[in-house]
Chain A
Amino acid sequence: MAGASESIVAATAARIFADLADPQTVNRAQDDGWAAGVWTAIEAAGLPLAWVPDELGGSGADIEDGFAVLAAAGGCALAVPLAETLLAGWLLARAGISSPPQAMTVAPARPHDRVTLGADGTLSGRAAGVPFAAATRHIAVLADSDTGPVVALAATTDCRVAPGRNIAGDPSDAVVFDHVKPLHLAPAPAGLNRDALMLMGATVRAVQTAGALEAILAMSVAYANERVAFERPIGKFQAVQQNLARLAGEVAAALAVSGSAADTMAQVDVADDAVFLEAASAKIRCAEAAQDGAAIAHQVFGAIGFTKEHVLHRFTLRMLSWRDDFGNESHWAAELGRRVARGGADAFWTLVASR
């Protein structure tokens, strides 16, 4: 995967985020007015539909570029449905469905939720924790049908949306499909099933988390170098240095494993054992890194980092929320463990070494 600095698309994204979604400015804002400006800019730059080819209404960027944009978005704790629209566009494009303009989200967003396509051609079911659903015009749906998985585009207004918030304050809504007539419908291509969607979503959240962790490390190191206690910068104390080194370890692990999963997603279309190992590991390890990393960063900042006024919570609470989207780490660990156990001890190292 191209690093954030190597991708032109990601550089464009980073510039827009810095100009219009600076976490400090956003944190001080009295309302959500800033979000419209950011959205207009990222839409003009073709970012939300980066994973949709030109002929289906998108900007046709590489999978790698999209992930680099998401790393940058995570790095500024971006709270607009960019990741969700990217993912929705990707899902629709895989089935050859054009993407409409404006924000979208994707359902289901949890591994055990299910939407089904009835004989009458309508969608039914319930999806919990759908990120930003109430803020979108359309929902890309992966539904089960008698003939296998199908991809559908539904108008959000045709669904019943029960609004909710995650701990970071971002919309996380329950969406009920009660005989919803889809605007478009197409069979999912071979290999695109609920697992494959969850693995892609898991990789998206892992990449965002790694981006947020990188930002948190930079903030924490800068603060430790400037905050003076006992007549020296706290970063001069070995206890603080050791904590920040541990934080760096978590950041490094998250960057490495999420980068590896993103790279894998860019190379292959079918969710085989290797994809499963990469994406599930990324979600598990990044969730662990989010947990430990958030705790260390808050420890470094002390009381000021616990205030609403300080920007740290925009990153830490968002990372901690992302743990629960597209399968939490316990879900993926059990799934991964079952797969490895089924393969047996003799096949295990071969699987690890294949990546």
Chain B
Amino acid sequence: MTTNLQFDQIRLPPECEALRAEVRAFLADEIAAGTFDPHRPGHGDSHNREFSRRVGAKGWIGMTWPKQYGGRERSFLERYVVTEEFRVANAPVRLHFVADRQSGPVLIKYAPEHIKHDILPRICRGELCFVIGMSEPNSGSDLFAAKTKATKVDGGFRINGSKIWTSNAHIADYMLGLFRTSPSTKENRRHGLTQFLVDMKTPGIAVNPIYQMSGQHDFNEVVFDDAFIPDDHVLGEIDGAWKQATSELAYERSGPERFLETFYVMLELIRALGPEPDLRGADGLGRLVAQLHTLRRMSVSVAGMLHAGKEPVVQGSLVKDLGTIWEQKLPNRVRELTAFLSPEIGNRATLEEQIAFATTIAPKLTIQGGTTEILRGIIARGLGLR
């Protein structure tokens, strides 16, 4: 049991601030060129192949990876700066973000050398989009109930079944999929799953769109009908994928994207309140600022602890739990704090558009990447309750 919830006091080193200036200048140029509009919610969620290539050319995708695979061997804290600046600007990172955050690191750890040399440099150049193939119609939070089967055949495996809620599958080049290679055992129900690298152009893979309540299309169903995956696309241990999952959680769960997804409404709130807010606006804004500052300090701290080689799994889960609930409540808080402002305020139309958009995407924030309930289960385990 540990009730030690230590957050190391990490301050971003000076090289991060030089990088921040460079990132901001790049984003300002992209905005000026009309690549995206920072005031348009949803842009941060969209994809843009040319933009991703330009980001890759700057060396900001896979920037912490070894140079031999196209990376720049820069620090996690530098990656943190790039991630938060892109997110705050609403930049269209969807194409490369999943590969940068989690697929690439999995490949570095578990893929055969020739695959790493083939794929990782292309991720770094912003050419590849990855999709996570974990959830199934009857297996969401309960990951180890996955049924989609990988059957051993000569030279590889045949995949049959389906994955669902697969964001980006319709634009993705590759999937990191979790498939059943053996039944689970009585002693270990997590046994029997294997992680594979799947080329989405493989015959026998069909991608069917699922439209979201926000009007967006990220989700898909991916159906596998005897799709063949060669032996060298197995990642890590056959039947032992569950061992590979846990150490990556802190990476996926503690980043700035876990509290900044609706940040644009906060900026619009500040514009709406103006330089001399009334007491209610000032008090409400001040609390939001304090909460945001706290989340960011926690998140930077986790990045620093990861950088130092620690495994702050519980702290990472705490950041996502607090962060996603905060960003989920933010649109309504802004709605309340602007309720009594003059209908004539200059940014009323933008404000309402942003609140409306953020309200429609808010429900997903505490579901994607580990639900609130799952996170609290992990935290409770860390506390010694389970």
Contacts and interface: CB of A to CB of B under 8 A. Distances in A.
Interface of A: 1, 3, 214, 217-218, 221, 224-225, 235-236, 238, 240-242, 244-246, 248-249, 251-253, 255-257, 259-260, 263, 277-278, 280-281, 284-285, 288, 329-330, 332-338, 340-342, 344-345, 348-349, 352-353, 355
B39 to A, nearest CB: 10
Contact of B275 (A238, A341, A352): A341
Given A336-B286, A337-B289, A255 B281 contact: no
A280 B290 contact: yes
Given A280-B286, A344-B270, A221 B376 contact: no
B286 A244 contact: no
A245 B286 contact: no
Nearest to B267: A345
Contact of B282 (A253, A329, A338, A352): A338
Given A1-B9, A349-B88, A341 B270 contact: yes
B376 A245 contact: yes
A345 B380 CA distance: 38
Nearest to B299: A256
A241 B9 contact: no
Contacts of A335: 282, 286
B383 interface: yes
Contacts of A256: 7, 294, 297-298, 301
Interface string B342-368: 000000000000000000000000000
Contacts of A330: 283
Contact of B293 (A225, A249, A352): A352
Question: How big is chain B's contact interface, by range?
Answer: 35 or more
A333 B293 contact: no
B270 A252 contact: no
18 contacts: A241-B376, A245-B321, A248-B3, A249-B321, A249-B322, A252-B322, A255-B7, A257-B290, A260-B9, A263-B9, A288-B291, A334-B282, A335-B282, A338-B276, A342-B276, A348-B267, A352-B293, A353-B20
A251 B385 contact: no
Most buried by B among A329, A337, A344, A355: A337
Contacts, number: 176
Contacts of B283: 330, 333-334, 337
B5 interface: yes
A252 B380 contact: no
Interface of B: 1, 3, 5-7, 9, 11, 20, 81, 84-85, 88, 266-268, 270-271, 273-277, 279, 281-287, 289-298, 301, 314-315, 318, 321-322, 373, 375-377, 379-380, 382-386
Nearest to A218: B3
A274 to B, nearest CB: 10
Main secondary structure, interface of B, reads helix
B3 A221 contact: yes
Contact of B385 (A224, A252, A255, A284): A224
Contacts of B279: 334
Given A3-B6, A245-B379, A337 B286 contact: yes
Contacts of A252: 5, 7, 298, 315, 318, 322
B13 to A, nearest CB: 13
Nearest to B271: A345
A330 B297 CA distance: 21
Given A242-B380, A344-B271, A352-B293, 11 more contacts: A214-B3, A217-B5, A221-B3, A249-B318, A284-B286, A333-B282, A337-B289, A338-B277, A338-B282, A353-B81, A353-B85
Contacts of A214: 3, 5
Contacts of A225: 384-385
B287 A284 contact: yes
B379 A337 contact: no
A277 B290 CA distance: 7
A182 B281 CA distance: 42
